[in-house]
Amino acid sequence: MRLSSSLHPIVRLGALTFEGVTVVERESRLDAPLTEAERRVRLEPPREREAVRAMYRNVGLDPTKRRPSSEALLRRVLKGDRLPRVNALVDICNWCSLELQLPYGVYDLGRVDGDVELRLGQTGEEYAGIRKDVVHVDGRLALADRLGPFGNPSADSARTMVTAATSAALVAIYAPRRSDESLLVAALDLTARRILEYAGGRETLRVVL
């Protein structure tokens, strides 16, 4: 994992990798904790992190037009909707993202090719999105491997999406550099604990950049 030097003043990246995970489409053990998380958020809404919005602005993006995934989840729940249920790994990361108000990405590590770097997207770079035709990443934060970009804090790619066939996973947490590192460390701890509890496997890498 690498963080582009140009982004070092703006972004703090956390990453976890796991092997041997079991991904089910609907993990019933998550029903109660997700319902409780939604209830707590509606009773005491977490403040939308201005630092995350500032992170977007610092790379030239309007966070009200391309919302961080964490803010989009919060707005969904505050409207009375449920958290989307996709599969165990995605559901766990959405749960953490909702509570911590940090954008997350979760990827099938078996579909990632070579070293991974968080950088700015280059002119013309794009990828096929999940439930979207094309995600353009020119000038945007982009997680990329040897084949090109596959994720960002707003929308991820179909190429590396997690499915029931996933057995190895990469989790990325995009935190503002201005936030204290302890926030990201706590996020990694919480995320790893929940993944190991509900999806099994073993943690193989933990990075804070």
Please tell me the predicted confidence (pLDDT) of residue 65.
85
Q: Give the pLDDT band (50/70/90) at residue 46.
A: confident
Strand ranges in 81-167 using DSSP code E only, listed in sequence order: 104-108, 117-120, 126-127, 135-136, 141-145, 148-151
Q: Give the pLDDT band (50/70/90) at residue 49.
A: confident
Entry field: residues in the chain: 209
Among 140, 6, 120, residue whose Cα is nearest residue 67: 140
Please tell me the predicted confidence (pLDDT) of residue 69.
94
Sign of CA dihedral 148, 153, 155, 159: positive
Strand ranges in 57-167 using DSSP code E only, listed in sequence order: 104-108, 117-120, 126-127, 135-136, 141-145, 148-151
